[in-house]
Amino acid sequence: MKGSIFIVSAPSGAGKTTLCKMLIQSMPDIIHSISYTTRPPRPGEVDGKDYYFVKEDRFLEMVRKGEFLEWAEVHGNLYGTSKQKLLETINNGTDVILDIDVQGASQIRAQQIDATFIFILPPSMEVLKERLTKRQTDTEEIIQRRLQKAREEIKQYRSYDYVIINDELEVALEQLKAVVLSQRLKTEKIPHEWVEKTFQLQSLL
């Protein structure tokens, strides 16, 4: 059975990273997509596990050849998702989750890849502000800019297939699991040959 691709986006502070991590820990046969990056490995990071680490030349060559499903520059480093690696994984029957921003998601949508798009919303603007403030690392100005960016991103929620409101983490996790599980139950996932053989449908007039 072929795996599915799940694209998960959310404004910063909605709890996307935590949710995706918990999902992968609690469900079999689903993994996090591994990105290509030009950023040098940090201590402990393993090539092919955390990222595929490549030189900028190689990365740009892949861009030119259209090998990325999406790519972006973040703080001077390039990050991208290889179409081929992704298709290999789902062809092996494993689901893949891509934890990605609205721009990346929109690049993927434009390529009409068969994927399930999930948007995580915070329960309210107040809670989002609270979560961003709790980090205590950011100034009021940065927080305001993040909130403004969050609203810009939330504006895009209608181009996603599913919306999960992350109020209580356990509830949101159950909902995310239900979306993933339900995709596995889609009729087109069942090999028709298996049904035909199991129920001897060929012999029917």
Interacting residues with a second copy (CB under 8 A)? 119, 121, 124-125, 150-152, 154-155, 157-158, 160-164, 174-175, 177-179, 181-182, 185-187, 189-190, 192, 195, 198-201, 204
DSSP H/E element including 78:
strand 77-82
Looking at the Cβ atoms of 65 and 158, the one nearer to a second copy is 158
Distance CA 32, CA 96 (A): 6
Distance CA 97, CA 115 (A): 10
Cβ–Cβ under 8 Å, residues 23 and 141: no
Distance CA 58, CA 70 (A): 16
Instruction: Tell the smallest beta-carbon distance from residue 174 to a second copy (Å).
Output: 8
Distance CA 66, CA 74 (A): 19
13: left (phi over 0), alpha (psi -120 to 50) or beta: left
Instruction: Tell the smallest beta-carbon distance from residue 69 to a second copy (Å).
Output: 22
Looking at the Cβ atoms of 45 and 174, the one nearer to a second copy is 174
Instruction: Tell the smallest beta-carbon distance from residue 115 to a second copy (Å).
Output: 14
Looking at the Cβ atoms of 60 and 165, the one nearer to a second copy is 165
Looking at the Cβ atoms of 77 and 148, the one nearer to a second copy is 148
Instruction: Tell the smallest beta-carbon distance from residue 11 to a second copy (Å).
Output: 9
